[in-house]
Amino acid sequence: MKLSQAFIPTMKEIPSEAQIPSHQLMLRAGMIRKLSSGVYEFLPLGYKILKKVEQIIREEMNNAGAQELLLPALHPKELWEETGRWEIYGDEMMKVIDRNKRQFGLGPTHEEVITDLVRKEVKSYRQLPVILYQFQTKFRDEIRPRFGIMRGREFIMKDCYSFDKDEAGLNINYQKMVQAYKNIFTRCGFDFRMVQADSGNIGGNLSHEFMVLANTGEEAIHYCDACQVTMKAKEPEGEAATTVEKQLCPACQKEMKYSRVIEVGHTFNLGTKYSAKMQATYLDEKGESKPYIMGCYGIGVSRIVAAAIEQSHDNNGIIWPKQISPYQVIVLPLDVTNEPVRKTGEELYAQLLSQGIDALIDDRDERAGVKFKDADLIGIPVKLIVSTRGLAEGKIEIKLRKTGEVFKLSVVEALPKITELIQA
């Protein structure tokens, strides 16, 4: 992509609405814009990152035996009345009415819809297990949307549901999903912990949350890496309470570490909570009718993007982990009015593309400072700098976003080095 033609409106100043780094940087980097409280537009750069994250999740889900589908966002009221959640979910569900005065909810989660689909199609134990997932826009009329994309009223979620004939089957699938989640968050470059959790509104009897360590997180944990123990921290109570109670590790008795965290994933053992209420049953080997044993597994896809920035940024902007960076390399011809510089930049850019490297080129007639600032702001891991000064010595320069490390190389050495850096 050529920056001169790209719709990436960067900003020098911080919009006053944004308080935390990820929100500020996403706005400044031209990734998102606000339409309304808790409702955001993903611009091309933000959308590209979202798609990268989605693809990582998709690969791991497919690998774990789950199949992708797409369910509706419009849910008829009657379906939610079957589980009693039309009342229980209450005002948190956005509601709409059609021309015949029929009521619908905008799906905040999809247990009812998926269970309805499966109960209509899956009648025998022979058809189980089945694991289905989707990427979808969820609607939740949050009491207080905040921190930009972090807690929106409309957001992208990957939700996955497993249907088994018995508890043993569910446990196997649950473990598969936990492993898939660990793979996903590792690939996203996260420093994260898994913690046992309350099951909240979704329900069930066992659940785990996946927490990214970040000091702007809305929750907190105590953890002991030596013993692999993690527990959720209670929020300090009372207005004056700012100190956190110390926790000793139940295994080794040493003081546990404490960190604020962002919840990016949540797994639930649902049991028969939904299938029983919805008469969602199959026939077992003996011809007896039994409710499915269900599990449910969610990931906040858009939130992952924000969490990644919270965990990796500096004063100059975002520092994307290689795996989810929107582009792998940015080529910076520092002076496009200098013909050799412009030409060398264009050629290197074309060569990168021809080798399947997703590159960006800043071909704008801007000063060097502007180009460096924008490149750092949007966080591309590798800068390939072509300058009048460098070319006079027959050199170009490669500079790494994360470490600031610089390599001066001849033009022919550049591509192999970039390939090496990208694969490292």
Binding site for RNA (CB under 7 A): 10-17, 19, 28, 34, 36-38, 92, 140, 142-147, 150-152, 155, 157, 198, 200-202, 209-210, 218-219, 235, 263-266, 298-300, 302-303, 316, 334-335, 337, 367-370, 372-377, 385, 387-390, 397, 399
Q: Which is nearer to RNA, 92 or 358 (CB)?
A: 92
Per residue, what are the HEC states of 137-175?
A: EEECCCCCCECHHHECCEEEEEEEEEEECCHHHHHHHHH
On whether the CB atoms of residues 3 and 362 are closer than 8 A, the answer is: yes
Q: Which is nearer to RNA, 355 or 388 (CB)?
A: 388
Question: In DSSP terms, which residues pair with 156 in a beta bridge?
Answer: 137
d(CA 164, CA 172): 10
Q: Which is nearer to RNA, 10 or 281 (CB)?
A: 10
d(CA 146, CA 130): 36
| CB of 301 vs RNA, minimal distance in Å | 8
**DSSP secondary structure, 287-307, as one string:** S-EEEPEEEEEEEEHHHHHHH
Q: Which is nearer to RNA, 165 or 260 (CB)?
A: 260
Q: How far is CA 249 from the centre of its chain?
A: 30
| CB of 98 vs RNA, minimal distance in Å | 23
Alpha helices in 84-142 (DSSP H): 85-89, 111-121
Q: Which is nearer to RNA, 14 or 411 (CB)?
A: 14
Q: Which is nearer to RNA, 203 or 291 (CB)?
A: 203
| CB of 216 vs RNA, minimal distance in Å | 8
| CB of 100 vs RNA, minimal distance in Å | 27
d(CA 32, CA 53): 16
On whether the CB atoms of residues 132 and 66 are closer than 8 A, the answer is: yes
| CB of 248 vs RNA, minimal distance in Å | 24
Q: Which is nearer to RNA, 250 or 394 (CB)?
A: 394
Q: Which is nearer to RNA, 227 or 391 (CB)?
A: 391
| CB of 243 vs RNA, minimal distance in Å | 14
| CB of 337 vs RNA, minimal distance in Å | 5
Q: Which is nearer to RNA, 128 or 156 (CB)?
A: 156
| CB of 178 vs RNA, minimal distance in Å | 13
Contacts of 418 (CB under 8 A, 6+ apart): 329, 352, 357, 382, 384, 398
| CB of 302 vs RNA, minimal distance in Å | 6
Nearest to 271 by CA among 337, 203, 183, 366: 203
Nearest to 210 by CA among 188, 226, 227, 236: 188
Contacts of 292 (CB under 8 A, 6+ apart): 115, 118, 119, 122, 128, 163, 164, 165, 272, 275, 280, 281, 282
Per residue, what are the HEC states of 179-192?
A: HHHHHHHHHCCCCE
